[in-house]
Structure 1
């Protein structure tokens, strides 16, 4: 990456510019910069671009540039993999998740190590350390490392023979120590009773997850026009994300890139309708104080889930309020996403058509639904077949 600044002319009045070329980071994480002052005949765009190109070529062909063998793991990940692959090809939420995982776990472990010198034993030691520390999401960290070294091979930074991930298997997670992940029917009944005394906005958000199987970001992305009272449906065609880099909210496509329409039970639709009426009244009362987020086209986002002035709540607000509710009413802990699993669990328990569950959840393939909830279908089948014990 190159930049320039215009300097004061020489004593003879010749224009000058200072060109800076950045070549990533050194092994200590410091930026590698090369600068050169160039006297110019003119400051035209064409002349400046020519001077920059010539200096970039000079840097690239000199011995100053860090060789691939000397490139640190951290420099490759931040300057190459994140910028050229993750940021350009993956969704904002994925970029933010990867950045957090790298910053807090992966980079600190491999800090100071050269990309080309990392061996399979180093990867094994990383996962052993993660397990001993009781940390989660080992699968996610495995996939990140797999992608990093796959790109390193594709981009010729290391050879395929030096791929440290080739013989590394995905870490096993002890299922016996997993946290409770969903509520059964009895627990859902208790939850719905508790929700009768909860503020409408929070109650609606929780039910959208537990009754409709929606993801948190999908709930936050619902706009008023998404709800159809004539046929009891909600169009799920967007997710709300927060861009920390540019400090603004953005609507992105659903997780699999495909919009879907979810069916809403009559009683719940009445609750949603009442909430939306009150939300519209709040907008009228605010008048000019109503300040919704603005989309990329300069249009206001007519979101359902906002603060009293029309602006989106913090992305984590639903989760934070959910945790407070669990503590306040002494309910068994499941994370907010577990409400989506509770929806699927309830549907499976009622012998619902697996295709209906798939479409409501937004899975691209029914096999994904079957695989995700196969443990539930197996449990319920065993329960049904155990009735033979009474006559055998």
Structure 2
């Protein structure tokens, strides 16, 4: 049942919603429209009634954007996002996005206002990668606002994703890699722990969190020459250290070369001695499956390394011995690049722990400088001037 009431130059539409389970009358659905006359107003009422009865009508909700982001964080981000990702998203919301949109009601944020925000950020000199991160946060917030029926339309769908230029990663080529290991393995000044960390970063191509999440006994198989990657160590200001599932939620077995196994076996014995000396004071962490983990790469008492510790000793080593500056994560890319000539992309995907084949193919199917040079040399064989000189 519906009714139309003229209010000045506009018309108020009202559709009754009946009674709830307790017999209490529900508040009617209302809408104010413009119409030329009663006939047109009644036609609009019929359309509004259909919208209400079909369940597509969304009652306007007066909630600020900032208030909704708190709901989004509690009911989506906390449960679904990695702790480090959630921390990054909330930093962008609190430091920037809420400053701009926070006082607006959620339903007031139009496509034009969103476009204006990104245009202003771009004009201020913000980098494409920073724009893309903000786009990602806003896409998530508005996606869930629509799913939970706080808004009818998700205007972020029509804001194009900022294009981030592909950054060419710096890696060691084969000769640089050989020189690096020649220095690393014979140098007695480098701690055994540091040697093992660097060797595993390269030969197993692990992410830093995966390396720091290894158990000193359960994940190490010296006789079979492999390790099992089951979890990843993460640290946030809010929750401290946590052992989470790996990126993509995949466990994988990773082969380890013989010379690394020798170092790893020596280091494992060292860690087991440290654990025994600590006794009950040795610290363990519980992973996402409730399993107690004694970290392989940690302080003597089992407490996790501060994440930047590895970056610091890595940078110190490459500076001390004069090697090309690359990040510790770029050692993972160095390993993958080193293997591209030897194994197929599907095997490389499994080795790296990529959830999607496209990630591996798009990143590592590009030719290296050395292979590009070989292409040029190959076509040199077609040079007719060289044949005439033979």
Aligned to 1:91: 82
Tell me if structure 2 keeps the 8 A contact 1:292–1:300: yes
Paired residue for 2:142? Answer: 149
2:234 is aligned to: 241
Partner of 1:204: 196
Match of 2:330 among 320, 323, 338: 338
CA distance in 1, matches of 2:133, 2:344: 31
After TM superposition, the score normalised by the length of structure 2 is 0.72
Unaligned runs of 5+ in 1: 1-59, 62-66
Asked whether the equivalents of residues 243 and 285 of structure 2 are also in contact (C-alpha less than 8 Å), the reply is no
Greater C-alpha radius of gyration: 2
What CA deviation, in whole Å up to 9, does each residue of 1:44-100 have, x standing for no partner?
xxxxxxxxxxxxxxxx99xxxxx96542222211x2111111112233333223223
Q: Cα distance, 1:112 vs. partner?
A: 2.9
Say which of 203, 225, 230 aligns to 2:223: 230
Range 144-153 or range 320-329, more displaced: 320-329
Deviations 1:137-172 (A, max 9, x none): 543332221111111111222222xx3312221111
> Counterpart in 1 of 2:339?
347
- Could you say what secondary structure the match of 1:307 adopts? coil
With over 3 angstroms needed to count, the CA separation of the structure-2 counterparts of 1:168 and 1:299, relative to structure 1, is closer
1:71 match:
63
Specify which of 352, 362, 385 is matched with residue 375 of structure 2: 385
Instruction: Name structure 2 gaps, 5 residues minimum.
Output: 1-26, 29-58, 383-390
Partner Cα distance (2:119, 2:264) in 1: 48
Aligned mate of 1:375, from 358, 366, 377: 366
Q: Deviations over 1:87-125 (max 9, x none)?
A: 122333332232233333433343433322223344344
- How far apart, CA to CA, are the structure 2 residues paired with 1:221 and 1:107? 35
Alignment correspondent of 1:315: 307
209-218 or 135-144: bigger deviation: 135-144
- The residue aligned with 1:188 is 177
Q: CA RMSD in A?
A: 3.0
Counterpart residue number, 2:158: 167
1:140 paired to 2:130: no
- Contact in 1 for aligned 2:336/2:348 (Cα 8 Å): yes
Name the SS of the counterpart of 1:239 in structure 2.
strand
Q: Distance in 2 between matches of 1:144 and 1:303?
A: 33
Q: How many residues align?
A: 321
My pick for the range that moved more, 337-346 or 296-305, is 296-305
Q: Is the 8 A contact 2:245 2:288 kept in 1?
A: no
What is the rounded CA distance, in whole Å, between the counterparts of 1:105 and 1:203 in structure 2? 42
Contact 1:283 1:290 in 2 (8 A): yes
